[in-house]
Amino acid sequence: MKTRSNVRKLSPDEIEEFLKSQKVGTLSMNDGEKSYAVPLAYFYGGEQIYLTIGGEGRKMAYIKKNQNVCFVVCWIPPDFGLKKMTWKSVVCDGVIAQLTDIEGITRAVRTAERHLGMPEGSWDKMLEMTMKKPEASNFWGITITQRGGQGVEDFKEEFIEES
């Protein structure tokens, strides 16, 4: 049996606007044996997704083994399933790297402020503290190598019997 639905691909502009409008996504990693995924706040700056990640723990162990990651952002309305099923999702493949240079860290901080709707300079204290030891920065960037998205308004599916 086959199915057909009204799910559609998002255009590049829709993907861009969607990534700018959301604030939490799921970072998926693989260490060569096991996979691990964790939801994180993010800040989007065009070609790069910025994250803050502490210096130890399971995420770091996976990243040390494999810098190729997948970042997924999803959205559903509060009344999902009650009246209709509407959703959007974007999947970004990329390479994650710690930001240790002054320019990269500053760009991440300014992007975070814009993405969160804060005035520029709101994170200056954090920036100042990070610059004292930039090699220990908690700022990370995912350089996007591929991205795609799908969405649907009022999901409908039909089943087609194969002959």
Phi-psi region of 26 (alpha: psi -120 to 50; beta: other; left: phi over 0): beta
Give how far Cα 123 sits from Cα of 18, 25, 50, 92, Å.
24, 21, 14, 26
Question: Distance between CA 85 and CA 82 in Å, rounded?
Answer: 8
Q: Residue 44: which of 26, 70, 18, 10 has the closest Cα? A: 18
Kindly give the residue spans of alpha helices, DSSP state H, lying in 22-70.
58-65
CA of residue 63 relative to chain centroid, distance: 16
Q: Cβ atoms within 10 A of the Cβ of 11, count? A: 10
Q: Which fold has domain 2-150?
A: Pnp Oxidase; Chain A (2.30.110)
CA distance 143 to 49: 7
For residue 83, what are the contacts with CB-CB under 8 A and spacing of at least 6?
A: none
Structure tokens at 4: 């057909």
How confident is the prediction along the chain (163 residues), in pLDDT tens digits per residue?
A: 676 556 678 999 999 999 999 999 999 999 999 999 999 999 998 889 999 998 788 999 999 999 999 999 999 888 777 777 888 899 999 999 999 999 999 999 999 999 999 999 999 999 999 999 999 999 999 999 999 998 877 656 666 677 6
- Quote the tokens at residue 112: 């975070």
